[in-house]
Amino acid sequence: MMANSFSELLCGFKGEHRCLSTPQGVVTLGELMNAAYSFRSRIGLYSSSRIALCGLAPVDLLTAFLAFDGYVSAMLLLPAGVDALTTAMLIAESGCTCRVDSLHGSPEMLGVGDVEESFAVPGKETRWILATSGTTGVPKLVEHTLATLSRTVKRDRVRGAEFVWGLLYDPCRFAGLQVVLQALLSGSTLSIPKAGGVSAQIESFLSDGVNALSATPSLWRKMLMTERIGELSLRQITVGGETADQVILDALKFRFPEARIVHIYASTEAGTAFAVQDCRAGFPEEWLENDSIPVGLKVRDDGHLLIRSYKFPSGNEVAGRIDADGYLDTQDLVRIHDGRVYFLGRASGSINVGGNKVNPEEVENLIRQIDGVIDVRVFGKKSSMLGQIVAAEVVAEADIDRQELKRVLIQRCRSVLDSWQVPAFISFVQELTETAAGKRERIS
């Protein structure tokens, strides 16, 4: 049986349903559907067309989803900010036949040629091709369908009508799509904030009455430093994309005591795997190799977390990481301690200090527990003798004695960590930057 397209899944809502709130005004579902129909009708599409959607604004991107899903062979989703060389490489790799940079002009036909010459009609299971959003390396392509993207989306329309979701992620990325699909398929309103920094986004969310928000720990830390964050009446908080340590979970619980706080484990490659709702870092050890939970989980001898799902997205990047038993290597490192499985960070992100591996997230988690530290970034710095050494950038409270804090920080690290894990360089900065996906940058 053919899966329903994005537009078909929204057909049960009335045309006047307020699905989007933007800086330019409210957009109803009927307006979005009409724009999608108009765009699809004026361009020539074949059922084998593969469309590259490049850097579209959120409203235009959602219009394109409605226009193309179920009609074309594939959509490649490329966020704004991807450089021209990487964009060209990913378009070529995905075999796109058409490039769309705007809904207001004509798409660029790429001359690849269509295998089929039948015009696009409803009924196609479109591949949604996403680029991975890690903190290091060149993006890799992963192929989803709407079914794999929306597998864990809750579709209670009565309850969904109670929520206004704020969009902090680029909807071209997996995390952004999860927010978009959760909001639209459950009948919630999606708030698209005005451009600008975190403070400007929060102003938009306050105007729209946002009560549900999903962000990485890095973005949550930045938002918690703003003056007006406490004015949001949040009922649903989702944390994902990076390791959620106990410090950030406790801070969110303190600031929003009435909110339901969920730590989601998900990735472009694995999809949404599981959610932790007990406000504790990591997840229960009893979930490992337990047939009663929806996905299979186990830890390999080298500390890699493995996941087995009933259906993974396709593509070479995923297929190459699945073992003979059907488990996907997430490439996330974990440690089991006192009945809990804790995340240590990405295997590819470890720092090599004279042959010793250092997980930057593990050092960061320790430093964040020190009084006077607001946030920290740990990264590898090149060393002619050791290959790399550990360095740290620290955001400190305004009235703290930085020299004293540095002394306490080094002392604390030396008392807990091995010598090669202790930061050799410590600098104080006003703020830390994130990648376009809202994650902590790991490249020095």
Residue 2 in this model has a pLDDT that exceeds 70: no
CATH value of 6-149 in 2.30.29.30, 3.20.20.140, 3.40.50.980, 3.40.80.10: 3.40.50.980
Query: pLDDT tens across 53-82, in order?
Result: 999 999 999 999 999 999 999 999 999 888
- Structure token digits, residue 210: 């946002």
Matching CATH topology for 6-149 and 350-428?
A: no
Query: pLDDT tens across 224-253, in order?
Result: 989 899 999 999 999 998 889 999 999 999
Residue 390 in this model has a pLDDT that exceeds 80: yes
Q: Which residue has the higher pLDDT, 443 or 6?
A: 6
Residue 1 in this model has a pLDDT that exceeds 50: no
pTM above 0.85, yes or no: yes
| Distance from C-alpha of 256 to C-alpha of 234, rounded to nearest angstrom | 7
Residue 203 in this model has a pLDDT that exceeds 90: yes
* Alpha-helix runs per DSSP H in 320-401: 360-368
Q: What is the pLDDT of residue 243?
A: 87
* CATH code, 350-428: 3.30.300.30
| Distance from C-alpha of 438 to C-alpha of 429, rounded to nearest angstrom | 18
| Distance from C-alpha of 96 to C-alpha of 114, rounded to nearest angstrom | 10
Query: pLDDT tens across 250-303, in order?
Result: 999 999 999 999 999 988 877 788 899 999 999 999 999 888 888 889 999 999
Beta strands in 79-153 (DSSP E): 98-100, 108-109, 127-131, 141-144
The residue written with tokens 């071209």 in the block is 172
Residue 443 in this model has a pLDDT that exceeds 70: no
| Distance from C-alpha of 377 to C-alpha of 33, rounded to nearest angstrom | 44
Residue 415 in this model has a pLDDT that exceeds 90: yes
Of 166, 129, 142, which Cα lies nearest the Cα of 320? 142
Eight-state DSSP code of residue 415: H
HSE-up of residue 1 (Cα within 13 Å, Cβ side) = 3
| Distance from C-alpha of 429 to C-alpha of 42, rounded to nearest angstrom | 51
Contacts of 258 (CB under 8 A, 6+ apart): 234, 235
Residue 16, phi then psi, degrees to nearest 5: -85, 0
Q: What is the pLDDT of residue 384?
A: 84
* Alpha-helix runs per DSSP H in 152-303: 157-160, 174-185, 198-208, 217-224, 246-255
Query: pLDDT tens across 314-371, in order?
Result: 777 777 888 888 888 999 999 999 999 999 888 888 899 998 999 999 999 999 999 9
Domain ranges for the chain = 6-149, 350-428
| Distance from C-alpha of 378 to C-alpha of 417, rounded to nearest angstrom | 14
β-pairing verdict for 425-428 and 387-396: parallel
Residue 117 in this model has a pLDDT that exceeds 80: no
β-pairing verdict for 271-276 and 260-267: antiparallel
Query: pLDDT tens across 83-101, in order?
Result: 899 999 999 999 999 999 9
Share of the chain above pLDDT 70, in %: 94
Residue 409 in this model has a pLDDT that exceeds 60: yes
Contacts of 289 (CB under 8 A, 6+ apart): 296, 297, 298
Q: Grade residue 43 by pLDDT with cuts at 50, 70 and 90.
A: confident
